[in-house]
């Protein structure tokens, strides 16, 4: 990228990778009731491109571990883009005190989920009661509202901004919290527009696992399994590059990787090599013949 972006948003999450042998680093996780790895995936939210894939034991990452991963990642980004603003998004078990303190000390924006408790419930009780009452008076099945407050847990050194999404239904109240150091935007914008967008990262992880088989970490050595994860990530980049070469008006422009593999990669062809070129001869009835001509042109390396 010739011009550094003004800002980047990094979505961080871990995912279940079930093991079926005696791989090193695998642990039993009571939440999943499986012996597994929990590798961390980091994606660029704007492009959907993978930024980091880290093989790790099958337990929830601690604050110090998350901080160390972010420190190395941010150091590499700022070596190339020193003035780019960085926002890190993650669910509640990434919102650790060590992580938030490090982000604040290094001018990194963050937005994490926050588990609810009695103190938080009490801080937004007035707004919650208003939403619940209006829903009942207006006879609506659902009524949603937002609130924000300042909150300080016992393990925190300072108060931080907490935003709440409050939803009243016929079954009662459902309140979700997020914690952030962003000082701009309403609570509704912070939760609905910025935080909820991180849900796309879960779809990217599914493609990485189910359509590129990145959970085949069957080697005994963790180094070998990390290399496997890197190779699957390289395949992810190649598939994204292929999809981006498809014209914007074509029906395969937003296709999943499995569809691209079936329509563009798993095809029979005759390969003819000469001194100056390589020719691929497809069947006369190839359904994507015109698209292959466009792809060959779009994937040519840029000139000097």
Condensed to tens digits (0 to 9), the pLDDT of residues 98-116 reads 999 999 999 999 999 999 9
Q: Residue 24 in contact with residue 15, Cβ under 8 Å? A: no
Per-residue pLDDT at 299 exceeds 60: yes
pLDDT at 278: 85
Shared domain check, 107 and 12: yes
Q: For the domain that residue 48 is a member of, what is the CATH number?
A: 3.30.2170
Same domain, 202 and 265: no
- Whether residue 159 lies inside any domain: the answer is yes
Residue 164 belongs to domain spanning? 7-218
Total number of domains constituting the chain: 2
- The reported pTM is 0.88
* 214 and 254 together in one domain: no
Q: Note every long-range contact of 248-254, with CB atoms under 8 Å and residues 24 or more positions apart, other chains counting.
A: 250/291, 252/288, 252/291
* Percentage, residues of the chain above pLDDT 90: 81
Q: Are residues 272 and 148 in the same domain?
A: no
Confidence tier at 303 by pLDDT (50, 70, 90): low
Q: Quick one: pLDDT at residue 49?
A: 92
Q: Verify that 145 and 284 share a domain, yes or no.
A: no
Instruction: Specify if 76 maps to a domain.
Output: yes
pLDDT tens, residue by residue, 38-54 = 999 999 999 999 999 99
Shared domain check, 213 and 104: yes
With 80 as the cut, is the pLDDT of residue 2 above it?
no
């Amino acid at each position: 990228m010739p011009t550094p972006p003004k800002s980047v948003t990094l979505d961080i999450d871990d995912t279940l990778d079930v093991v079926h042998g005696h791989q090193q680093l695998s642990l039993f996780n009571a939440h999943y009731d499986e012996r597994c790895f929990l590798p961390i995936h980091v994606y660029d939210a704007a492009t959907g491109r993978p930024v980091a894939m880290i093989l790790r034991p099958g337990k929830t990452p601690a604050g110090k571990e998350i901080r160390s991963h972010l420190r190395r990642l941010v150091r590499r980004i700022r070596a190339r883009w020193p003035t780019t603003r960085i926002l890190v998004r993650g669910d509640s078990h990434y919102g650790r005190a060590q992580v938030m303190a490090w982000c604040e000390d290094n001018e990194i924006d963050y937005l994490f989920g926050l588990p609810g408790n009695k103190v938080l419930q009490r801080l937004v009780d007035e707004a919650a009661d208003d939403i619940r009452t209006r829903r009942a008076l207006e006879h609506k099945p659902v009524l949603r509202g937002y609130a924000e407050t300042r909150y300080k847990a016992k393990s925190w050194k300072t108060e931080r901004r907490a935003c709440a999404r409050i939803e009243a239904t016929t079954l009662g109240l459902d309140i979700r919290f997020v914690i952030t150091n962003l000082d701009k935007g309403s609570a509704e914008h912070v939760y609905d527009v910025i935080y909820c967008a991180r849900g796309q990262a879960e779809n990217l992880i599914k493609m990485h696992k189910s359509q590129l088989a990145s959970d085949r970490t069957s080697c005994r050595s963790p180094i070998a399994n990390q290399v496997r994860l890197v190779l699957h990530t390289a395949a992810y980049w190649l598939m994204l590059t292929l999809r981006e070469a498809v014209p914007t008006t074509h029906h395969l422009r937003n296709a999943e990787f499995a569809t691209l593999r079936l329509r563009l990669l798993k095809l029979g062809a005759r390969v003819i090599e000469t001194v100056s070129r390589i020719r691929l001869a497809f069947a006369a009835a190839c359904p994507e013949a015109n698209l292959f001509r466009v792809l060959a042109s779009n994937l040519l390396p840029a000139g000097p």
